[in-house]
Structure 1
Amino acid sequence: MLVPDGTGSLIHLNNGKTNQEVYAQRLYGEDENDNSGRRGQITESARLPVFGLKSGDEAWYAVIEEGDGIASVNADISGRNNSYNHVYAGFAIRGEDEYELYKGTSIEEIQLLTEARYEGDIKVRYSFLSGEDADYSGMAKHYRGLLERRGVLKPLSAQGDMPFFLSVLGAVDKRKTFLGVPYKGMIAMTSFDAAGAIADRLQADGVANIRMRYLGWFNEGLNHETPDKVKVDSILGGKADLESLAGKLAAMGGKLYPDVAFQRVYQDEGRFTPASDAARFVTREEALRAPFNRSLNYMDRELGSYYLLSPAKLPYYVDRFLREYATVGNDAVALRDLGDLLHSDYRVNRVIFRETAKNVVTEQLGKIRDHYPDLLIAGGNAYALAYADQLVNVPTSTSLFNITDEAVPFYQMVVHGYADYAGQPVNLDDEQDVRTHLLRAVELGAAPHFLWSEEPSSKLKFTPYDTMFSIQYASWYDRAVEMYREVNEALSGLRTVKMSAHIRHAEGVVETKYENGASVIVNYTDKAVTVGGTRVGPRDFEVGGGSP
């Protein structure tokens, strides 16, 4: 059985009593605009509205085609609530919240529901599979074909090296003092010239296809002002330096993607008015959020805070950004949050459910794509796939809650051959062993992804960004280049080929098959193994087969 967890991966469960398996995902993350007792933790999103079940040589899977913005998937194993493995979709027709009423020494929780309800269509398409197709590989193949026929997925045609996804941290805000008086200042973690020097060094060492996502380049750094105006941060260099960096990367065969956030408003600088522009909770409070502090188990304002922009205001900011960004002279852009999480707006006279918000976001993605055909999208929810050329921060692992058995790379099996993609930055992952990340990338057909700065990470101490504790590029450079060389050698010839199957031969031994006959066997264990006559060394991989 496969159920959702906080990473967005598909998770396999099996209670040992049946031969059934359930495949399920949480959709587009937990609604950020939730003011209840659950609002402290925001999970990452599962990206595809798909769930299913297998029993023996028969299986079915379902695609939520309408109403997926308000949907969730519920699944459990047999023997807990009933005698069946079960999975089903649920839909939040009304907004729901809890309000705490303090009565002396006691607290009473009052459930709140919106008077308005979602009145749009809900549509779930079921498909039935049998024989060799009755597993998650068959489901991914069938779903992939459905998306291709609808024009959502378009096959990659250009051959060439695997990309090297490099997120670069530019400017951030930091508290400074003048004559003992504190004020908010800016520091440059990587100037435009320094980013160009890093690219030069990478090219000299054989890394040519650099996809650089530049974070914190305009409107006062990473947590920038609203993007209705675009002013390049002078602390990083001038507009001419930004254009020079873009030209340098293009000459190398790479691309520069300046990053922008639309749905999270980090600075209330006057052009944004929370009372009229921010989304609201069911309690009518303005949606002010903060990053989740895992060590303290609550949202920590010390890590910064931000408002959620009402979806009704999103078209205005996108239009203004497109007009202003045209003066920058770049032909690509990275979208930080339009392909990641959705949120609603429960304003009394303007209730916007997540399904409506999804439609608004999709319309804006199309508008941006019309101006800039090369988009790099973080997250990559299903509604964003039709507009993405490059994807980063896609799900590549699982939290392995006690009830789960294993992760299944359903997302990669759907997307591979249609867009280049990578997971979270390697150097900020809990797993710091680069070899493990290499093996995982080869298994998933993913490109390497790092977040780097020229300046030491220590400069971020005592700032909201101190979670970026290991981003100085000099500390990771040699290992990153070696990782890229191995990944590129293994996968460059398979970059445009669709995956046909994913097989787990034993604990820590997996095989990914491709439609051209190629096969990649990955051995995560400390002992050599033999699969189908192919010997794979400890913590190593082998690539074989395939058409020339």
Structure 2
Amino acid sequence: MKRRVLALVSVGVAIILLLGAMFWLIQRDGTAGGQGNATTAAGEAVQDEASSPRNQSSPIEPRLPNEESFARVAESASLILWADAETGHFKAESKNSGNVWRSFPEPAYWGDETTSGVWRSNLLSPVMLEYIDASSSKSQTKLTNWMEERGVLEFEELDDGFRATYHFKSTGFKIPVEVALRGDYVEVKIIDGGITEEALSLLNLKAYPMFGSQPSIDKKGYLLLPDGSGALARFDENRSNDKSVYREPVYGSDLAFYNEVTNRSEVKMPVFGLKSGEQSFLGVLTEGEEYAKLFAAPAGSLGNGNWITAEWQYRIKFFQSTDRRGVEGFYTFSKERFEAAERSVRYYLLEGEDVGYPAMAAKFRDYLIQERGLQRLPSGDGDIPFFADIVAADLKQGPLWDDYIVGTTTGEAERMLRELTDAGIGSITAIYHGWQRYGYSSHGGLLPADRRIGGNKGLESLANTAGELGGKLLLAANYSLNNSGRGGFWSLNDGLRNLAGTLLYQPLPAKEEDVPIVSPLYSFREALDDLPEYGKLGVDGILFTGGIGSSLNTDFNSRNRATRSEVLDGQQAVLAATADGIGYAAAENASFYSLPDISHIHRIADDYSYDIFVDEAVPFAQIALHGLVTYTSEWGNLRDEYRSDYLKSVEYGAYPAYVFTAAASGAFKKAYSVWYYSMNYKDWIDVAAEQYERLNEALRDVQDAFIVDHATLAPGVKKTVYENGQTVIVNYNAEPYQGDGYVVGASDFAIRKVDIRKEGKAYE
């Protein structure tokens, strides 16, 4: 009996405990608005509070942020940074004027926006991205954005700004972004280490793409593109029929991947900008820029506003060959994404009267000095430098084997320098090309110099003569190609390979030959090994003419594998070692990552690519560089438009450069690489001396001076103002230009020692 009673008591206690537990669970799940795994009225599961940060937002709808909900998150001497914890959008406000730069479209004009579909939410969203389903060979790239997916946001305030982590609900991406206010700029940084992917693969993303965007209300507003020397796309609300956009990789394309063929100049500067009214911004990509493209959309192409931004690349399409010849195959994307420790862009904010491209270039110059370590050129009262490119030799097809063409021996080069000096040309920097064995078309194993043009002894003598005449001798060197096999090069082991493992070549059309492209790491080793030998020759420096200092390629050769970032670091190391070991490093049409290790940029771009929506070229690069490094434009005897290109070198502050041979111009008519037919120096010496004298007038007193202004005074009339007050006015017209108290002749220039910014408003 007692046992039965005890059993009943035990069952009763168990039932009571079970009912209590069920009641506690019901109470827990029914509180806090139905958290846990409860379902909302919309049928969407809400994450459990214990597994989700308390600062995570609710799913967002595509909309403009409510500016009344913005909170102050940082402050500097001149700016206030405001942020919206619901969207992660921000705005920077000037303390002086109250001007505002927003990371989203201007609310006052959003009602006029006609774009619909996903692109409408793209314009509203703080983050948009492209992705692909890599598990399917038939998958197509798709575009999405955080607002379109009704994503959620983790928001956290930092000491100088905030961190916003965007959760994409449908695709599963998580993108962490940090925004900070630092003095006169706002920095937007993508944290690659915090990006997560699920089943889909991230291709690229844009963070706050609409920052500073403006409709075409201000007819004097424009986008600044890093095309050539710099180009302006002026605001035009009637461009609605033109859907063109600008989308180009920073520092040029990467041969290891698929590249769209365009006629645009390579992007050498990691900058962009936008001006509207009395405010503007300059964007400078400062970290991870080798994995970025610049994207610009004039009004009417993608929305009613003009906008420009960085597009960060994580995967690029490549051709997967299925045969040994590399002809058959298909396009796909890499499985591994590009990783950079950080990807950042600074938005320098400008306001007032000086907010145009000259002010943007000045701000970029400040960045190069303060952050990249460039220094002002030494002051002096000597003549400007004259750059004489001298071609030693090349090859052409002969009846049985290649014939060797002698253009200029070292002895002839010495006589040339003396004659140029006697003609009145001073401070000559001679650059000797094609001095290696078999000349200009022979690549790899450059040293020793070919005996037929004087050998190493001849180079030593030429270097001595250049120095005695008050100049320098540079040797031109291309380490990116090897068709000789010299130096132990074997393309299978040491050639550049794309992601499919295919060896890459550069055509030499005149010879019907494909020249192997060298693995960057191999080229670095070869260049560094040659430095002691260059030092023994007594030359003053090296001009790198291919690869090093100008272009970046990822290498998938297993023996020399290198990422684009590693190739950039390696090039900088070679340039620095050259400057330290020899004394002078230069590069042809250099990319700006080569600064400050180079002292000279040879044949820098001074035009733009003539896109249908681009209006004019401007000397943005030259304004930023003048007084910090020397630079030249195209060779004077190979100009497309002889007189106007000469005047442009005056306007842009570029030093004169010519390419010469001692041989008759027709000697290279059938050469494999040197296709220039007007090079005999005796044909050009008088013209070169005359132009040098005029350029010396314009630039002698401003060699170390910064350019502080540049503008159009009238159609075809430009002015360039230096910080010491010297002003150069260039008239491209066939008729004289009448200024206030001065006249500039037709197709000519004039020099004034006063600052004409005070003499009237520039032509608009």
Please, what TM-score do these two structures have when normalized by structure 1?
A: 0.89
Query: Are 1:502 and 2:710 matched, yes or no?
Result: yes
1:259 to 473, 476, 485: 476
Q: Which residue of 2 aligns with 1:469?
A: 677
How far residue 149 of structure 1 moved from its aligned partner, in angstroms, is 1.6
How far residue 187 of structure 1 moved from its aligned partner, in angstroms, is 1.9
**Alignment partner of 1:482: what SS?**
helix
Query: Are 1:321 and 2:542 matched, yes or no?
Result: no
Query: Are 1:189 and 2:426 matched, yes or no?
Result: no
Q: How far apart, in 1, do the equivalents of 2:359 and 2:329 lie?
A: 46
Deviations 1:201-239 (A, max 9, x none): 111111121111100112321133324x61111111132
**Conserved? CA contact 2:388–2:430, under 8 Å:** yes
Q: Which residue of 2 aligns with 1:97?
A: 318
Equivalent AA in structure 2 for residue 333 of structure 1: I
Equivalent AA in structure 2 for residue 445 of structure 1: G
Q: Which residue of 2 aligns with 1:487?
A: 695
2:627 to 413, 417, 431: 417
Query: Are 1:53 and 2:53 matched, yes or no?
Result: no
**Conserved? CA contact 1:164–1:449, under 8 Å:** yes
How far residue 332 of structure 1 moved from its aligned partner, in angstroms, is 2.1
Query: Are 1:233 and 2:440 matched, yes or no?
Result: no
Query: Are 1:162 and 2:384 matched, yes or no?
Result: yes
Q: How far apart, in 2, do the equivalents of 1:43 and 1:58 lie?
A: 29
1:79 to 288, 294, 300: 300
How far residue 323 of structure 1 moved from its aligned partner, in angstroms, is 3.2
Query: Are 1:110 and 2:330 matched, yes or no?
Result: yes
Equivalent AA in structure 1 for residue 312 of structure 2: F
Query: Are 1:343 and 2:560 matched, yes or no?
Result: no
Q: How far apart, in 1, do the equivalents of 2:729 and 2:513 lie?
A: 43
Query: Are 1:249 and 2:249 matched, yes or no?
Result: no
How far residue 37 of structure 1 moved from its aligned partner, in angstroms, is 6.8
Q: How far apart, in 2, do the equivalents of 1:155 and 1:438 lie?
A: 26
1:359 to 569, 574, 578: 569
Q: Which residue of 1 aligns with 2:433?
A: 215
How far residue 304 of structure 1 moved from its aligned partner, in angstroms, is 5.0
Q: How far apart, in 2, do the equivalents of 1:115 and 1:349 lie?
A: 21
**Conserved? CA contact 1:428–1:469, under 8 Å:** no
Equivalent AA in structure 1 for residue 645 of structure 2: H
Q: How far apart, in 1, do the equivalents of 2:264 and 2:459 lie?
A: 34
Q: Which residue of 2 aligns with 1:17?
A: 237
**Conserved? CA contact 2:589–2:602, under 8 Å:** yes
Equivalent AA in structure 2 for residue 206 of structure 1: G
Of structures 1 and 2, the larger Rg is shown by 2
**Alignment partner of 2:234: what SS?**
coil
**Alignment partner of 1:326: what SS?**
helix
**Conserved? CA contact 1:508–1:524, under 8 Å:** yes
Query: Are 1:437 and 2:645 matched, yes or no?
Result: yes
Equivalent AA in structure 2 for residue 479 of structure 1: V
**Conserved? CA contact 2:426–2:470, under 8 Å:** yes
Q: How far apart, in 2, do the equivalents of 1:531 and 1:403 lie?
A: 32
Worse overlay, 493-502 or 470-479: 470-479
Deviations 1:87-134 (A, max 9, x none): 1112332242235789xxxx9973222222221121111111001231
The alignment yields a C-alpha RMSD, in angstroms, of: 2.7
Worse overlay, 56-65 or 383-392: 383-392
Deviations 1:7-35 (A, max 9, x none): 6231212243399xxx9995555325156
Q: How far apart, in 1, do the equivalents of 2:673 and 2:524 lie?
A: 29
- The 1:202/1:271 distance shift into structure 2, 3 A limit, reads same
Worse overlay, 64-73 or 282-291: 282-291
Q: Which residue of 1 aligns with 2:501?
A: 284
**Conserved? CA contact 1:99–1:283, under 8 Å:** yes
**Alignment partner of 1:154: what SS?**
coil
Give the aligned length.
Answer: 523
Q: How far apart, in 2, do the equivalents of 1:430 and 1:266 lie?
A: 31
Q: How far apart, in 2, do the equivalents of 1:500 and 1:37 lie?
A: 38
Identity, % of aligned pairs? Answer: 27
Q: Which residue of 1 aligns with 2:517?
A: 308
Query: Are 1:137 and 2:355 matched, yes or no?
Result: no
Equivalent AA in structure 1 for residue 652 of structure 2: L
- The 1:218/1:350 distance shift into structure 2, 3 A limit, reads closer
Query: Are 1:172 and 2:398 matched, yes or no?
Result: no
Q: Which residue of 2 aligns with 1:295?
A: none
How far residue 335 of structure 1 moved from its aligned partner, in angstroms, is 1.7
How far residue 447 of structure 1 moved from its aligned partner, in angstroms, is 0.7
Query: Are 1:146 and 2:357 matched, yes or no?
Result: no
Equivalent AA in structure 2 for residue 222 of structure 1: Y
Q: Which residue of 2 aligns with 1:379?
A: 589
Query: Are 1:454 and 2:662 matched, yes or no?
Result: yes
Q: How far apart, in 1, do the equivalents of 2:625 and 2:527 lie?
A: 27
Q: How far apart, in 2, do the equivalents of 1:115 and 1:37 lie?
A: 18
Q: How far apart, in 1, do the equivalents of 2:487 and 2:383 lie?
A: 46
Which segments of 5 or more consecutive residues in structure 1 lack a partner in the other structure? 292-299
Deviations 1:447-470 (A, max 9, x none): 111111111232223332353222
**Alignment partner of 1:256: what SS?**
strand
Q: Which residue of 2 aligns with 1:200?
A: 418
**Conserved? CA contact 2:541–2:578, under 8 Å:** no
**Alignment partner of 2:676: what SS?**
coil
Which segments of 5 or more consecutive residues in structure 2 lack a partner in the other structure? 1-221, 240-244, 756-764
Q: How far apart, in 2, do the equivalents of 1:543 and 1:468 lie?
A: 33
Equivalent AA in structure 2 for residue 30 of structure 1: G
Compare relative contact order (CA 8 Å, sep 6+) and give the higher one, 1 or 2.
1
Deviations 1:382-406 (A, max 9, x none): 1112022222111112242333211
**Alignment partner of 2:697: what SS?**
helix
**Alignment partner of 1:359: what SS?**
helix
How far residue 329 of structure 1 moved from its aligned partner, in angstroms, is 2.9
How far residue 475 of structure 1 moved from its aligned partner, in angstroms, is 2.5
**Conserved? CA contact 1:422–1:447, under 8 Å:** yes
Query: Are 1:389 and 2:599 matched, yes or no?
Result: yes
Equivalent AA in structure 1 for residue 650 of structure 2: V
Query: Are 1:544 and 2:743 matched, yes or no?
Result: no
Q: How far apart, in 2, do the equivalents of 1:456 and 1:46 lie?
A: 37
Worse overlay, 162-171 or 387-396: 387-396
Q: Which residue of 1 aligns with 2:742?
A: 534
Equivalent AA in structure 2 for residue 122 of structure 1: R
Q: How far apart, in 2, do the equivalents of 1:328 and 1:467 lie?
A: 29
How far residue 411 of structure 1 moved from its aligned partner, in angstroms, is 0.5
Equivalent AA in structure 2 for residue 214 of structure 1: Y
